[in-house]
């Protein structure tokens, strides 16, 4: 019994030991597998991370390969070939969108640098694009890319990836005119000389004139305002964002009535917010509003200026109508007869540009000539007829009175008026329009 029992016990314990060993080995394998899995996961993560960094670097290298030196790149651009950038390339050149320049109705603008050292402004569009808008986008890139003028911001390229739609523009060192005009609290912007401001007005007018009258395909900007006038290091103005108006609805900072989302309140011409045909004369109106802001170095509408000066354009007209244009041209920074003469011209041109009737507004080539003193300016008529009590004596025919041109051109202007759709309207429609104009303008700016 003793020996047999010992033998049984020892064989049972040996079996148990083997079982335990097997169990332990299995457990070890499971643990090892788990550890291995963890290690593989970590390694994969690391590889992925490196790939991401690598991709950004590769993207930059691609840009180098595609773009080459600045000279070659600019030549290609001048040969009307806007570059196509990938979203990775844009992320790389903007250092992952780390430097924001500002934002507007279409999206956010970031500062970027191409590997060849060229600085760019990347506007990442947030408009949702259906097929129609996508087609418009491509057509627009073609138009903007082929439009080159010293007073227009250059489009270098675009991105049309599934997740990123963006426009890549030349970078304008001094930013937009806006910050030099309004003395907003905390503003550190340099104070511009009157001569510089006058130069900015003339240069901007030349940029718009090119869009309207000189480039291959006539372009109406629809959103002329100080924020869309950018300045180079030596304060040469360049008009930005021409051609964007057709890309679709924007955020509610913009007009969204019959103008199809075009224009910005305070600068948009009456026909953009009424059921009237729009033309390049919308830009002339907006440019007039910009001229007032340049003249006054202030926002046109500013409730802090006291009731009479709350809306600057109206105050300017009142002073002018009472023969007190001196009050206007005695504005800040205007010194000496030459300055005063230029300011007086700017004041009259502004009053002509913002006439209610589009055909009473000058063309941009006339605006340039008037601002440069090459064309005589006929005394302007009241542009705010419909929002001023003093206008009650006038009849609706006053709507059509006056032109910036000399009386020699009256016949031409009359035929222009009779050809315009508004002139063909009935008296009732004119009255409706007058009422609408008065109420919208009152809401918009007064």
Please state the residue numbers annotated as binding site for ATP: 123
- Residues with catalytic function: 223
Is 77 one of the binding residues for ligand ATP (CB under 6 A)? no
Stretch that binds ligand ATP, among 78-86, 221-229, 361-369, 402-410 (CB under 6 A): 221-229
121 vs 272, beta carbon nearer ligand ATP: 121
**Rounded to the nearest whole angstrom, what is the least distance from the CB of residue 108 to ligand ATP in the complex?**
7
Residues 270/264, Cβ–Cβ less than 8 Å: no
**Rounded to the nearest whole angstrom, what is the least distance from the CB of residue 294 to Mg ion in the complex?**
18
Counting Cβ atoms within 10 Å, is residue 362 exposed (0-12), middle (13-18) or buried (19+)? Answer: buried
Is 105 one of the binding residues for ligand ATP (CB under 6 A)? yes
Q: How far is CA 251 from CA 108, 193, 261, 265, 273, in A?
A: 12, 35, 9, 13, 16
103 interacts with, out of ligand ATP, Mg ion, none, CB within 5 to 8 A per kind: ligand ATP
Q: How far is CA 411 from CA 231, 365, 377, 416, 444, in A?
A: 40, 20, 18, 9, 34
Tell me which of 178, 241, 293, 344 binds Mg ion, using CB under 5 A.
Answer: 241
Residues 420/358, Cβ–Cβ less than 8 Å: yes
Binding residues: 123
109 interacts with, out of Mg ion, ligand ATP, none, CB within 5 to 8 A per kind: ligand ATP
Residues whose CB is less than 8 angstroms from the CB of residue 15 and which lie 6 or more positions away in sequence, other chains included: none
Tell me which of 88, 241, 280, 434 binds ligand ATP, using CB under 6 A.
Answer: 241
Is 85 one of the binding residues for ligand ATP (CB under 6 A)? no
Alpha carbons 309 and 316: distance in angstroms, whole number: 9
121 vs 350, beta carbon nearer ligand ATP: 121
Q: Are strands 100-103 and 107-113 parallel, antiparallel or unpaired?
A: antiparallel
Stretch that binds Mg ion, among 17-25, 223-231, 285-293, 378-386 (CB under 5 A): 223-231
Stretch that binds ligand ATP, among 27-35, 72-80, 102-110, 340-348 (CB under 6 A): 102-110
Is 153 one of the binding residues for ligand ATP (CB under 6 A)? yes
Tell me which of 63, 181, 240, 387 binds ligand ATP, using CB under 6 A.
Answer: 240
Is 228 one of the binding residues for ligand ATP (CB under 6 A)? yes
Cβ neighbours of 434 (radius 10 Å): 19
Tell me which of 204, 228, 286, 357 binds Mg ion, using CB under 5 A.
Answer: 228
Residues 183/105, Cβ–Cβ less than 8 Å: no
Residues 175/231, Cβ–Cβ less than 8 Å: yes
**Rounded to the nearest whole angstrom, what is the least distance from the CB of residue 406 to ligand ATP in the complex?**
36
Alpha carbons 381 and 327: distance in angstroms, whole number: 18
Is 109 one of the binding residues for ligand ATP (CB under 6 A)? yes
Stretch that binds ligand ATP, among 19-27, 98-106, 279-287, 304-312 (CB under 6 A): 98-106
**Rounded to the nearest whole angstrom, what is the least distance from the CB of residue 104 to Mg ion in the complex?**
5
Cβ neighbours of 42 (radius 10 Å): 10
Residues whose CB is less than 8 angstroms from the CB of residue 136 and which lie 6 or more positions away in sequence, other chains included: 246, 247, 248
Residues whose CB is less than 8 angstroms from the CB of residue 53 and which lie 6 or more positions away in sequence, other chains included: none
Segment 257 to 296, residues that bind ligand ATP, using CB under 6 A: 264
**Rounded to the nearest whole angstrom, what is the least distance from the CB of residue 110 to ligand ATP in the complex?**
9
Segment 92 to 111, residues that bind Mg ion, using CB under 5 A: 104
Complete DSSP assignment for 257-270: STTSS-S-TTTS-G
**Rounded to the nearest whole angstrom, what is the least distance from the CB of residue 254 to ligand ATP in the complex?**
6
Alpha carbons 237 and 197: distance in angstroms, whole number: 10
Is 171 one of the binding residues for ligand ATP (CB under 6 A)? yes
Summarize as ranges the residues that interact with Mg ion (CB under 5 A).
104, 228, 241
Summarize as ranges the residues that interact with ligand ATP (CB under 6 A).
101-106, 109, 121, 123, 153, 169, 171-172, 175-176, 223, 227-228, 230, 240-241, 264
């Amino acid at each position: 019994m003793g020996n047999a029992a010992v033998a049984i016990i020892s064989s049972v314990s040996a079996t148990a030991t083997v079982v335990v060993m097997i169990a332990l080995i299995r457990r070890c394998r499971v643990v090892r597998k788990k550890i291995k899995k963890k290690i593989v996961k970590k390694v994969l993560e690391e590889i992925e991370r490196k790939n991401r960094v690598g991709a950004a670097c590769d993207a930059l290298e691609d840009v180098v390969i595609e773009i080459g030196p600045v000279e070659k790149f600019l030549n290609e651009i001048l040969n009307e070939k806007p570059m196509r950038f990938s979203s990775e390339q844009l992320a790389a050149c903007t250092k992952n969108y780390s430097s924001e320049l500002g934002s507007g109705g279409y999206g956010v603008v970031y500062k970027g640098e191409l590997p060849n050292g060229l600085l760019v402004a990347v506007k990442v569009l947030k408009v949702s694009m259906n097929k129609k808008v996508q087609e418009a986008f491509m057509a627009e890139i073609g138009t903007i890319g082929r439009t080159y003028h010293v007073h227009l911001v250059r489009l270098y390229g675009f991105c049309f990836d599934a997740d990123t739609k963006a426009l890549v523009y030349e970078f304008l060192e001094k930013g937009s005119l806006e910050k030099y005009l309004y003395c907003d609290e905390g503003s550190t912007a340099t104070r511009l000389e009157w001569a510089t401001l006058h130069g900015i007005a003339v240069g901007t007018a030349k940029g718009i004139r090119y869009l309207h009258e000189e480039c291959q395909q006539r372009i109406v900007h629809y959103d002329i305002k100080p924020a869309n006038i950018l300045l180079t290091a030596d304060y040469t103005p360049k008009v930005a964002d021409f051609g964007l108006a057709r890309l679709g609805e924007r955020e509610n900072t913009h007009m969204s009535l019959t103008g199809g989302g075009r224009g910005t309140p305070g600068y948009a011409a009456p026909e953009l917010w009424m059921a009237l045909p729009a033309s390049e004369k919308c830009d002339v109106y907006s440019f007039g509003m910009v001229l007032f802001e340049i003249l006054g170095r202030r926002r046109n509408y500013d409730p802090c200026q006291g009731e009479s000066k709350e809306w600057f354009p109206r105050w300017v007209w009142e002073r002018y109508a009472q023969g007190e244009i001196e009050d206007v041209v005695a504005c800040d920074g205007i010194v000496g007869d030459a300055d005063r003469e230029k300011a007086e011209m700017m004041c009259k041109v502004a009053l002509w540009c913002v006439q209610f009737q589009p055909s009473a507004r000058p063309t941009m080539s006339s605006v340039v000539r008037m601002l440069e003193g090459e064309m005589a300016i006929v005394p302007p008529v009241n542009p705010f007829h419909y929002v001023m009590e003093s206008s009650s004596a006038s009849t609706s025919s006053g709507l059509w009175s006056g032109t910036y041109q000399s009386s020699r051109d009256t016949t031409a202007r009359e035929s222009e008026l009779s050809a315009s759709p508004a002139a063909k309207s009935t008296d009732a429609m004119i009255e409706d329009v007058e009422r609408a104009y008065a109420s919208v303008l009152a809401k918009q700016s007064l």
